[in-house]
Amino acid sequence: MSHASSRPGVRPAVAADLQAVARIFAHYVLETTVTFEETPPSPEAWLRRLAEARSARLPFLVVAVEGQAVGYAHASPWRGKPAYRYTVEDSIYLDPSWTGKGLGDLLLRALLRGCAAAEVRQVIAVIADSGDPAPVRLHLRCGFSKAGRLRAVGYKHGRWIDTLLLQRGLGEGSGP
């Protein structure tokens, strides 16, 4: 398939997308330090995550080219305590062959619109400091601001990894 001739589109994820979602995320779990997961979730686990997102009225989106999901993004509750109910954490991953083509920007902006529609007030990005500046640049382009660094909080592939916290307020009275 030619990347140049295909028009990507962002849409809500459906069960048929979850094999691709699982495959995309498995690459990052097994080959990188951008996620602290060490075992790739099964497609069944992804089905539960999709159901949880729908139940919470939170967006779970894919970016598709010619009907095939080549990336995904979803929002999940930031913490389980009731006072955090208007704050979510975002997750966004692209098939490695589709990075650098603007799809992350499309996905994250659509995710933010979905979060605003769900009455979310704060979106937190927890980004593993893997040495790749692209995730931070993406979030800054989409209106996030740096909120802090947690040092050496993850250990994966034989090394300690920091996480960077970024935050984006949505709607009135949302803060940063």
pLDDT for position 7: 87
For residue 41, give both structure tokens: 């979730």
pLDDT at residue 171, as a whole number: 80
Torsion of CA 72, 142, 28, 157, to 10 degrees: -160
Give the pLDDT confidence score for residue 174 in this predicted structure: 65
pLDDT band at 173 (very low <50, low <70, confident <90, very high): low
Residue 24 zone, left/alpha/beta (φ > 0; ψ -120 to 50; rest): alpha
List, for residues 78-107, the tens digit of each pLDDT value.
999 999 999 999 999 999 999 999 999 999
Q: Which two tokens stand for residue 62?
A: 């894919």
**pLDDT score recorded for residue 1:** 44
Tell me the pLDDT tens digit for each residue of 32-65: 999 999 999 998 999 999 999 999 999 999 999 9
Quote the CA–CA distance of 63 and 94 in Å, as a whole number: 9
Torsional class of 61: left (φ above 0), alpha (ψ -120 to 50), beta (otherwise)? beta
Q: Where are the domains of the chain?
A: 8-169
The pLDDT value recorded for residue 6 is 74
Spell out the residues 6+ positions from residue 16 whose beta carbon is closer than 8 angstroms to its own: none
* pLDDT score, position 172: 67
pLDDT value for 42: 93
- By three-state DSSP, how is residue 130 classified? coil
Is the domain covering 8-169 a CATH 3.40.50.150 domain?
A: no
Residues 25-34 have pLDDT tens digits of: 999 999 999 9
pLDDT of residue 175: 52
